[in-house]
Structure 1
Amino acid sequence: MESKPKGAFNVQAFLGSSGVARRIVEFRRSDVIFGQGDACDSVLYIHRGGVRLSVVSKGGREAIVAMLGPGDFFGEGCLAGVSVHTGSATAITSSTILLVEKDQMVRMLHSQHALSDRFIAHLLARNIRIEADLTDQLFNYSEKRLARTLLLLAGYGKVDAPVTAVPPMSQGTLAEIVGTTRSRVNFFMRKFQRLGFIDYTDGLKVNRSLLSIVLHD
């Protein structure tokens, strides 16, 4: 059995750290973890499940900002002085979330180098993802954007081993993420299934062959 490198981030140790001001909370699918305008005073870590981040405009229009999975942090704005959440976080499947109070998180980042490295890597990856999402919206057509979204939701591109199952979500939600209509998503999903890129046998499974859509010019 391969051992972890010395100093590597240990998720179980992080979850079970004694003397740490933190809570482990279980959320069911569609539960609101925090709402837009709620106090922003903790950093959250996804141990299991998935989370949708969204923002509602003054006119009542909702936009999905990000879809997160196991190993992702969110709510980190509190570390930069943000006092209220600018958007909402909702569980997209049954999820286990670790909440660490702001002051405690600051102390842990200074004292636990493995956690600090993991957190910095998360922030860098998030920035790269935001830039890629913007480029995707500006230059790619909806079929390629949908393929890229499915691959990201399935965990492809992460350092850890990819997870091919996509958390349950409606085609309407996928349409919001991609920036197209539900009918277009339905059309492309049927096409992907026909070509063997996705499989509905046991939930929605994404095959690596879907990369051919993303890489094709």
Structure 2
Amino acid sequence: MTIKRQPLFDPQSFLAKVGEGRSIASYRKDQIIFSQGDPADAVFYIQKGKVKITVISEQGKEAVIAILDPNEFFGEACLAGQAQRITTVTSMVESAIMRLDKAAVVRVIHHEPAFSEMFIAHLLGRTIRVEADLVDQLFNSSEKRLARLLLLLANFGKDGKPEPIVAKISQEMLAEMIGTTRSRVSFFMNKFRKLGLIEYDGSIEGGIQVHSSLLNLVLHEQPEIRTGLPPPEGRS
């Protein structure tokens, strides 16, 4: 008697197709995927595009806390008992997002080790990133924080080749993400461009080419990088 073997489970194939508890939706630029206060009942996976995660304080102040790229999950806090969303997620470009019902995610985690391994790797990577962000905020200057953020947005350190930042990234958004003022971001962006660490034509919202030489600022802070003082206002 021939025993028919079940095909190996492929997480990427699972995350590419509609199925039980899984649906795919297209989002236009600046469209909200979920809002702060919405029920937390699903996990999302970015098939294509880019999203930003923001939070609004009781005083109405909005802050950008993360920008996510393809092959990343978000909304996973529902698996830890979060009943309502504490953030808002918005597409930054045209995006294709898979929605996985909470029950569907729990089921596949329990039954498919390959998916569990992939999802745990995602959670560990996110935890490491949050810890690094905290250390960055506590101990690094706003100049170094901006350099690190630009490198992360350009995918340095991730699988695949670094790429230009093609989504709309305003100076105000960069300032929010590193905890400083727009004027300081403008000062440092001009400084990085003069030093040949980045390139952009006209407005930075048209895209920024980040060069690997910017790593020198984060890792070694060469003497020529230290010259020049930013405007005195705001956080250092």
TM-score under structure 2 length normalisation: 0.83
Q: CA RMSD in A?
A: 1.9
* 1: CA distance, partners of 2:52 / 2:59: 20
* 2: CA distance, partners of 1:125 / 1:8: 22
State the identity %. 49
Q: 2:72, 2:122 within 8 Å by CA — same for their partners in 1?
A: yes
* Greater shift in the superposed pair: 107-116 or 51-60: 107-116
Tell me the equivalent position of 1:3: none
Q: 1:20, 1:104 within 8 Å by CA — same for their partners in 2?
A: yes
Tell me the equivalent position of 1:27: 27
Amino acid at match of 1:74: F
Q: 1:168, 1:204 within 8 Å by CA — same for their partners in 2?
A: no
Tell me the equivalent position of 1:207: 211
The SS at the match of 1:15 is coil
* 2: CA distance, partners of 1:106 / 1:72: 17
The SS at the match of 1:180 is coil
* 2: CA distance, partners of 1:190 / 1:8: 49
* 2: CA distance, partners of 1:148 / 1:39: 33
Amino acid at match of 1:215: L
The SS at the match of 1:165 is coil
Tell me the equivalent position of 2:174: 174
Change (3 A) 1:207 1:49: same
- Structure 2 stretches lacking a partner, 5+ long: 1-7, 222-236
- Structure 1 stretches lacking a partner, 5+ long: 1-6
Q: 1:27, 1:95 within 8 Å by CA — same for their partners in 2?
A: yes
The SS at the match of 2:38 is coil
Change (3 A) 1:38 1:154: same
Deviation, 1:10, is 4.5
* 1: CA distance, partners of 2:195 / 2:94: 30
Q: 1:50, 1:95 within 8 Å by CA — same for their partners in 2?
A: yes
Q: 1:34, 1:89 within 8 Å by CA — same for their partners in 2?
A: yes
The SS at the match of 2:160 is coil
Deviation, 1:176, is 0.4
Deviation, 1:70, is 1.1
Amino acid at match of 2:138: L
1:145-168 C-alpha deviation (Å, 9 max, x unpaired): 00100111111122x213322122
Tell me the equivalent position of 2:183: 183
Superposition pairs of residues 1-217 of structure 1, within 5 angstroms: 10-16=11-17, 19-158=19-158, 160-166=159-165, 167-200=167-200, 203-217=207-221
* Equivalent residues, number: 210
Change (3 A) 1:97 1:13: same
